[in-house]
Structure 1
Amino acid sequence: MNDDNQTDKIRRKRNRSRKTAYLRFTTGLRQLTTIHRWKNVFLAAYLLLAIVAWLNRGKLLFGLDNKFMLFPIFTMAVNCLVALLLPLGLLCLISALGTPRKAQKIQDRLIGAGFTNHAQEPPLLLVRYHLSLNPKITIWEFDENETPLSIWEDKKDKLQGALIDRIIKITQSKNGRRIIIHTVAPRLTIPSVMHWQDKYLSKESFILILGESLTGQETVNLAKIPHILLGGASGSGKSVLLKLLLMECLKKDAEVYIADFKGGVDFSSIWHEKCHLCFDENELLELLTGLTDELQRRKTVFRKTECANIDEYNAATNSKLKRMVFACDEIAEVLDKTGLSKEKKELISQIESQLSIIARQGRAFGIHLILATQRPSADIISGQIRSNMDCRICGRADSILSQIILDSTEAADQIPKDAQGRFITNTGVVFQSYLFDDNEVFFNNGQTGGVPNSESKDAGNSNP
């Protein structure tokens, strides 16, 4: 039995050595072609040296007279030796470029941290570099080491200890053979208070700025991820983030509609000028019905013009069809049917039905939902609505609300109990939202909103 174990260890060691050599060579090629193209300088220098060595190979004959009887044999031997060594040297150079500095030290740290596979082997570090667009981020690429991504995520703390960096994201390459880890220096922190500046407003189509994370600004593109679900306990800053997003929508010339069943006290008078606010269920149903009617109208127009979405339609027809954003600061208060009369339950069901239509179909037609809640109740928001809210953000919350919003307890685990304006996305990114003064950001901005309805053919200030 001991002999079999020893044989198996030798076989695994030999296979790992072959795999390591192959990975070092292929990573070296990637360094030259995609990651660090400036390293082609080493390749060019080597090729120049190879040409010089080939041209001067005759000097290796040590001045032998060509009349010497074995001269042709020595010449052939030197030619073969140089021809063999030059490609071998090239292979070694490429493999060296595929070997990161301190790669062995990282492997030793991983072993010390207990991060190994079932054969007690640590993962092989393939490449380490700083992201060109954001030098704060360090990218580490490892071979997958016969270890599924879930294990890498579960043992994140051990990895952080070995890398001596703070891990912000762990992903897997498309072919599944590499694990890619994004880290930042452990000394980096997110400020607890940040103020909005108009220069932050994205110039791209409908990208909204959420706040700042350890790696820079965190954004959401409503053209691709059309609906947002916000969660957070009272005082977590949820309403401030909601207003930040709506302010950006207004500045991007969108029509904004807000359902506020607290009488509008959270929205100063300037919001009443620039948006349409509704304060009761009957008015809300009328508003949502108008939005779904507009959705159907846009669907017909887009089909006639053979346009797949609002951006294509505006580009093809030179129109200025506006996006429409509906927001509700406490959607659970609206949809909760507990203790209601039969008539009231029917009204709420109709509201829920209209929201479901927008959630399912709104993306292409430029009609979006931003819904917020602090109620930890899974049965309030229907599955059809919730499953279409692809961007989910949670502030300070208990584990139940965090699970409802994010499908995990990360908000409860990672957001401090006294934090305000600190949030985490369903992709695991922690960020701090911006504070702003309503009158200051809207100064001299006369944009107003209106109520869509089935009688108006000019919704969005356009004439398709």
Structure 2
Amino acid sequence: MDNRKRNLLEQETQRRYLLLLFQTGLKEIWTDQYRLKVLVLYLLTVLLFSIIRPWDLAYSGPDIFDAVSRIAFSLCFPFLVFGGLAVLILWAGTPSKAKSIQNNLQRIGLVNHAGETPLLVAVRTEESDDMHSRMTVLEFLACGVPKSVWEDKRADIETALNIHIADIRESDGKRRIQLYTVPATDELPKLLPWKDAYLRDAFPACKLVLGESLLGPVTLDLNLIPHVLLGGGTGSGKSVLLKLMLMQCLKQPNIQVTIADFKGGVDFGSPWRKHPNCKLILDRETLLCYLDDVTEKLEQRKDILGKVERRDIYDYNRHEPIPMDRIVFAVDEVAEILDKTGLTKEEKEQVARIENRLSTIARQGRAFGIHLFLSTQRPDANILSGQIKNNIGYRICGRADHVLSSIILDNTDASDKILHDAQGRFLTGDGTVFQAYWFDDTKKMF
């Protein structure tokens, strides 16, 4: 692209940017008391000058020069007034440090093919929850730089602007980019103790509170997200997060929890074993019988909901006098129940039947209140079939290598965005990094 074409594009962009700032300035003056006061002061000053007409006093002599000067100032005064008003409106619409931010983005090469840098058009603050006081949203005119490029340069942008980026979103179609940011000095804590008070918003909607991101609490609504695939390397905090989710299920009414643990149940002590709504399964044969029973209940619930004309279990429980229990089936290490390595022919047939039942639940369980919480730390793509994995829409990955991150999230982001010594730090499929709540399941939980 030659310089002439580049200059024409830059001029076009600048005209559009100035018009945008002018429109924003009008809105800001209308809504911001400080800017409105500045405008009123300006208009009062103009009114005062128009009454006093100081140019008449300055050029009051009888000669032709004074007469011409008075006429010139009289004619120019309206243009000066409207020019000053335009400058004032542009000032009101121009975000603070817009030029500095543009220069910093230029330095890291965030430009389009014409060499134009995205332009800052608005800065606003949003109140966040709990530990986060304020979130600053930087809104840019994208100038043709797609969201994927912003994502790729996220670390560079954070360094250049001295911020943490919690989220990157598109607005106004794809013409604008919004960065949800907090100062670089604000970071997620390394430990977030669990408090039962966090459950206050969970009833009766069956929500689970997982932890906190820079945007605020991270929650999971079982009505919208029926199944969860959870991964993480050894020591990543994966098992603690799974137990956190199951503990919250057991604290809510009308939820039955079953946990498959082929290590003899050593990871789930007496608080779990003694809970009336919690059941442990320790062998493959018992598990197959249980899953056969669950798939049978799934078919029964189809008939029940069809007869009373309810869309799903949430709709049914809101309108019917006797609520229907939700069923949560959890596995701390899915490889324990699905890995066929070294098994006999009969055992492999059992595993195939288990896999078939899980696939049925993954496909059809949401409407009927049957949920799967599957977790793994073994990076083997053959463990989870595509049919099961593709029907589990919510993915969470802790500290992991490229292989495990790819299995859980279908990308390597967990390996890149989570420090290798981090515990309890997770990444969801939509790119949200959060610190999970920690709790001690050896103490009284229920």
| TM-score normalised by length of structure 2 | 0.85
Q: What corresponds to 1:269 in structure 2?
A: 270
Mapping 1:88-167, distance limit 5 Å? 93-133=88-128, 134-167=132-165
Contact 2:162 2:184 (C-alpha < 8 Å) held by counterparts: yes
Q: Secondary structure at the match of 1:137?
A: strand
Once the two structures are overlaid, the 10-residue window that deviates more, 37-46 or 196-205, is: 37-46
Residue in 2 aligned with 1:256? 257
Within the candidate set 320, 323, 327, 1:320 is matched to 323
* Identity in percent: 45
- Partners of 1:139 and 1:183 within 8 A in 2: yes
The Cα shift of 1:88 comes to 7.2
The aligned length equals 425
Question: Quick one: structure 1 residues 367 and 94, their matched pair in 2 at CA, closer, same or farther if it must change by over 3 Å?
Answer: farther
Cα distance between partner residues in 2 of 1:305 and 1:48: 68
Q: Does the CA contact (< 8 Å) of 1:358 and 1:368 recur in 2?
A: yes
Does 2:371 align with 1:374? Answer: no
Shift of 1:188: 2.1
Give 1 or 2: higher strand fraction: 2
Deviations 1:63-83 (A, max 9, x none): 9xxxxxxxxxx9xxx99986x
Secondary structure in 1 matching 2:406: helix
Task: Name the aligned partner's letter for residue 25 of structure 1.
Answer: F
Which residue of structure 1 aligns with residue 342 of structure 2?
Answer: 339
| Secondary structure of the structure 1 residue equivalent to 2:346 | helix
Aligned to 1:431: 434
Q: Secondary structure at the match of 2:354?
A: helix
C-alpha separation between the residues in 2 aligned to 1:291 and 1:6? Answer: 69
Native 8 Å contact 2:396 2:428 kept in 1: yes
Conservation of the 8 A alpha-carbon contact between 2:170 and 2:178: yes
Matched, 1:413 2:416: yes
Once residues 79 and 313 of structure 1 are traced to their aligned partners in structure 2, the CA distance between those partners, rounded to angstroms, is 76
Q: Is the 8 A contact 1:198 1:441 kept in 2?
A: no
CA contact (8 A) 1:115 1:158 kept: no
Structure 1 residues 13 and 190 mapped into 2: Cα distance closer, same or farther (>3 Å)? closer
- Assess if the C-alpha contact under 8 Å between 2:228 and 2:392 holds in 1: yes
Instruction: State the partner residue of 2:195.
Output: 197
CA deviation string 1:181-212 (max 9, x = no partner): 12222122333233211112242312211123
User: CA offset at residue 409 of structure 1?
Assistant: 1.8
In 1: Cα distance, 2:48 partner to 2:313 partner: 65
CA shift, 1:290, in A, is 2.0
Cα pair distance change 1:413/1:55, threshold 3 Å: closer
SS in structure 2 at match of 1:402? helix
- Is the 2:127–2:134 Cα contact (8 Å) retained in structure 1? no
What is aligned with 1:218? Answer: 218
Q: Which residue of 1 aligns with 2:397?
A: 394
Q: Structure 1's 304 and 59: CA in aligned 2 closer, same or farther, altered over 3 A?
A: farther
Alpha-carbon RMSD across the aligned residues, in angstroms, is: 3.1
Residue 23 of structure 1: aligned partner: 20
The CA distance in 1 between the partners of 2:32 and 2:245, in whole Å, is 44
In 1, distance between residues paired with 2:41 and 2:301? 64
C-alpha displacement of 1:230: 0.9
1:242 and 2:242 correspond: yes
Q: Unpaired runs of 5+ in structure 1?
A: 64-73, 446-464
1:183 aligned partner = 181
SS for the counterpart of 2:336 is helix
Q: Which residue of 1 aligns with 2:65?
A: none
